[in-house]
Amino acid sequence: MAPAGLGVGLLTGFFGVGGGFVIVPLLTVWLGMRFRRAVATSLVIITLTGLAALASHLVAGAGLADIGLTAALAGATATGALAGSFVGARLPQATLGKAFAVMVVAVAAFLLVDVSLLGGPPG
């Protein structure tokens, strides 16, 4: 598990991504974890990683984030997570896995178009 965690950490550090897009497939495919448990484990890992990143940014003098914006996004995210959990609990794991795969491919395609044709994110 340590090499897997190191790999996810490197991807997160290099590209600012990782999270569930890397952790969930790693846990399900490489480590044989059931999809729902992999998602829950991923959320805990993302939370701890986010707290560590926040601490490092604060130590570096970045200052606190916009509290109003952060609260609004956190509230909307929590609402979406509750709705997603409600729907996800009623779907077969195979359906969830396929939907996750479609979403990952769609995000990858968007990023490829963004970087290749549109010049990447604004800098």
The pLDDT, as a whole number, for residue 123 is: 60
- Considering the domain architecture, whether residues 71 and 54 belong to the same structural domain is answered as no
Q: What sign for the dihedral angle of Cα 10, 16, 18, 21?
A: negative
Which residue ranges in the chain fall short of pLDDT 50?
A: none
pTM assigned to the model: 0.68
- Considering the domain architecture, whether residues 77 and 45 belong to the same structural domain is answered as no
- Considering the domain architecture, whether residues 11 and 56 belong to the same structural domain is answered as yes
Domain of residue 97 covers: 67-123
H or E element at residue 42: helix 35-59
- Considering the domain architecture, whether residues 35 and 75 belong to the same structural domain is answered as no
The pLDDT, as a whole number, for residue 75 is: 92
Locate all alpha helices (DSSP H) within the chain, ordered by sequence.
2-15, 19-25, 35-59, 67-88, 93-116
Q: CA–CA separation, 89 vs 96, rounded Å? A: 10
Structural domain count of the chain: 2
The pLDDT, as a whole number, for residue 79 is: 94
The pLDDT, as a whole number, for residue 16 is: 64
Tokens of 73: 């996004």
- Considering the domain architecture, whether residues 89 and 33 belong to the same structural domain is answered as no
SS3 119: coil
